[in-house]
C-alpha cells in the first residue's frame, strides 16, 4: 500500500504539470491573465489489493484579458480523468472468516466436503436429465453450507459428461440502495480464499449494451455476500469455470431478466449453469417479522410460509414468484429465483425438484443450539 501511495502522489504531480501546460497552451500567446484551479476532490483507492483506482476531477478556469479574443469571458473546462493503476481488477472477499473460512486450505477442504454428492438427494432426481440450475442458500456455512453444497454436488453429478464452462449466479440484493434493473459487476475476477473465479466480462458487456434491464454497477457487489459465499463451492465442483454475477432486485421484470440472460449466454455458452442465491423467510424479532408470534409456533409458521413460494418453484410458475414474495415476504431473493427459473426454462428445463427444506434453528440444533425466537429458511432445489 505504501508503494501504491507514492505512485498515486506521482500521478497527481504529473497531472498538475499537465494541467499547467494546458492552461499555458490556451493563453500563453495572449497578454491576458489566467488562473488555474485544480480540484482533486474525488481521490480514492479501492480497498482491493489488486485495484488502485484514482479518480481526479479537475476544473480549469481561464480568465482572459479584455484585449484578446476571450473579451473578458470566463471559460470553464471540466476534465474527468480515470487512471487505473492496475489493469486487472479483482474483487476481494468481504465475508471470508465470517460466513466461511478465511484460511485457504480450510476453505478448500470445507467446500470440497460440502459438494460431495448425497445419495439420499440423488434418489429424488430423475435419472438421465441434464441439470440446468437451482436455488442455493447464502447464510454462513455453519447454517446452510451443506444445503448449498448439495445443489452444486447434484448439478455436478448430473452434468458429469459435460461440465459447465460458465456459472451464472443471480443474487439477492442486500445493499440498501434503490435498484430497478439487474446489476452486473465490472471486476475481472472474484477472489476467495484458495482461488479466483474469472468473470465473463464479454457476456456482461453484451447484456449491458443490449438491454435496458441491465446496468454495470459494482456498488451492489462490493459488500454483498449472496454470490460470494457460493464461489468456493463452485470452485470445488468446477475449478476452471467462469462466472457471471448478477444482482436481481424484486421487480416485475425479474423473469424477463432471466430469459434475456439465457438467450444471450446460451448463444455462446451452451454448457451453462444458472443459480439463484436466496434464503427464505426471515422470521423473528431480529427481522421485525413475527406475524405468528415468537417461539416454536412462529418457526413452524415460517416454514409453511416458505412452502408457498417453493410450491410455485416446483410448479415452474415463474411469473407468480415475484408477486408471492412481495405479498408474503418469504424469500430475500425473489427476483433472483424468478430470473434463475426463467433462464432454465429458456434453456429447456421442465422440472424443479426440492431436495431439502430447513431453517437455521434446525441446522444449528446439533452445533450451537439457539432459542427459536429467530430463524431463516433454507432450501436446496435443482432444476432440470
Give the helix ranges, DSSP H, for 174-230: 201-210
| Helix 296-314 and helix 334-347, axial crossing angle in degrees, nearest 10 | 30
Residue 171 burial (C-beta neighbours within 10 Å; 0-12, 13-18, 19+): buried
Give per-residue burial for 13-33: e unless 16+ CB within 10 Å, then b: eebeeebeebbeebbeeeebe
For the chain, the distance separating the N- and C-terminal CA atoms, rounded to the nearest angstrom, is 47
Please state whether beta strands 375-383 and 282-283 pair in parallel, antiparallel, or not at all (unpaired).
Answer: antiparallel
37 and 132 assigned to the same domain: no
What mean pLDDT comes out for the span 263-270?
92
C-beta of residue 272 within 8 angstroms of C-beta of residue 340: no
Final residue of a structural domain among 50, 84, 118 = 84
Selection from 152, 221, 210 nearest residue 188 by Cα: 221
**What was the pLDDT predicted at 369?**
72
Distances (CA, A) of 367 to 7, 143, 225, 361, 363: 49, 9, 23, 10, 8
Give the helix ranges, DSSP H, for 213-295: 231-237, 254-266
211 and 340 assigned to the same domain: yes
30 and 94 assigned to the same domain: no
The mean of the pLDDT values for the chain is 82
Q: Is 101 helix (H, G, I), strand (E, B) or coil?
A: coil
276-306 pLDDT tens trace: 999 999 999 999 999 999 999 999 999 999 9
Beta strands in 85-233 (DSSP E): 90-91, 133-136, 166-171, 182-184, 189-192, 195-198, 214-216
217 and 311 assigned to the same domain: yes
Least confident segment among 20-34, 146-160, 357-371:
20-34
Task: Give residue 77's domain range.
Answer: 2-84
Among all chains, which residue has been given the C-alpha cell 448430473? Answer: 158
Final residue of a structural domain among 68, 84, 100 = 84
60 and 104 assigned to the same domain: no
79 and 143 assigned to the same domain: no
Count of domains observed in the chain: 2
* Better pLDDT: 341 or 56: 341
Q: Is the pLDDT of residue 67 over 60?
A: no
314 and 297 assigned to the same domain: yes
- State pTM to two decimals: 0.78
134 and 12 assigned to the same domain: no
Q: Distance between CA 58 and CA 146 in Å, rounded?
A: 52
14 and 157 assigned to the same domain: no
76 and 98 assigned to the same domain: no
Final residue of a structural domain among 53, 84, 115 = 84
214 and 138 assigned to the same domain: yes
193-250 pLDDT tens trace: 999 999 999 999 999 999 999 999 999 999 999 999 999 999 999 999 999 999 999 9
**What was the pLDDT predicted at 26?**
40
139 and 57 assigned to the same domain: no
* Better pLDDT: 6 or 309: 309
Q: What is the CATH number of the domain that holds 183?
A: 3.40.830.10
Distances (CA, A) of 173 to 19, 110, 246: 42, 26, 10
Amino acid at each position: 500500500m505504501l508503494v501504491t501511495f507514492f505512485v498515486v502522489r506521482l500521478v497527481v504531480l504529473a497531472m498538475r504539470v499537465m494541467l499547467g501546460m494546458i492552461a499555458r497552451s490556451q493563453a500563453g500567446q495572449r497578454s491576458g491573465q489566467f488562473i488555474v484551479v485544480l480540484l482533486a476532490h474525488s481521490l480514492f483507492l479501492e480497498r482491493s489489493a489488486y485495484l488502485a483506482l484514482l479518480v481526479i476531477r479537475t476544473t480549469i478556469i481561464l480568465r482572459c484579458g479584455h484585449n484578446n479574443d476571450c473579451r473578458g469571458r470566463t471559460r470553464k473546462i471540466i476534465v474527468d480523468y480515470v487512471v487505473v493503476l492496475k489493469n486487472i481488477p479483482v474483487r476481494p472477499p468481504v465475508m471470508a472468516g465470517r460466513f466461511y473460512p478465511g484460511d485457504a486450505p480450510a476453505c478448500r477442504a470445507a467446500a470440497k466436503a460440502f459438494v460431495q454428492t448425497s445419495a439420499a438427494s440423488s434418489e429424488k432426481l430423475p435419472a438421465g436429465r441434464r441439470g440446468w440450475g437451482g436455488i442455493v442458500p447464502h447464510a454462513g456455512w455453519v447454517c446452510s453450507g451443506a444445503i448449498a453444497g448439495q445443489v452444486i454436488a447434484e448439478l455436478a453429478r448430473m452434468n458429469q459428461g459435460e461440465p459447465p464452462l460458465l456459472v451464472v449466479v443471480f443474487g439477492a440484493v442486500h445493499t440498501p440502495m434503490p435498484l430497478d434493473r439487474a446489476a452486473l459487476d465490472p471486476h475481472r475476477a472474484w477472489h476467495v480464499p484458495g482461488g479466483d473465479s474469472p468473470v465473463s466480462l464479454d457476456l456482461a458487456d453484451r447484456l449491458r449494451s443490449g438491454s435496458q434491464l441491465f446496468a454495470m454497477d459494482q456498488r451492489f457487489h462490493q459488500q454483498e455476500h449472496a454470490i460470494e459465499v457460493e464461489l468456493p463451492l463452485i470452485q470445488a465442483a468446477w475449478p476452471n469455470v467462469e462466472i457471471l454475477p448478477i444482482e436481481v432486485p424484486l421487480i416485475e421484470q425479474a423473469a424477463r431478466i432471466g430469459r434475456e440472460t439465457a438467450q444471450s449466454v446460451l448463444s455462446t455458452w451452451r454448457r451453462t449453469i444458472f443459480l439463484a442465491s436466496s434464503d427464505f423467510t426471515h422470521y423473528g424479532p431480529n427481522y421485525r417479522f413475527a406475524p405468528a408470534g415468537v417461539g416454536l409456533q412462529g418457526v413452524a409458521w415460517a416454514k409453511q410460509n416458505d412452502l408457498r413460494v417453493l410450491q410455485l418453484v416446483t410448479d415452474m410458475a415463474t411469473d407468480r414468484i415475484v408477486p408471492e414474495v412481495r405479498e408474503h415476504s418469504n424469500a430475500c431473493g425473489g427476483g433472483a429465483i424468478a430470473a434463475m427459473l426463467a433462464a432454465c426454462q429458456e434453456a429447456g428445463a421442465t422440472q424443479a425438484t426440492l431436495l431439502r427444506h430447513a431453517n437455521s434453528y434446525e441446522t444449528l440444533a446439533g452445533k450451537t443450539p439457539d432459542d427459536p425466537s429467530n430463524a431463516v429458511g433454507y432450501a436446496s432445489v435443482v432444476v432440470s
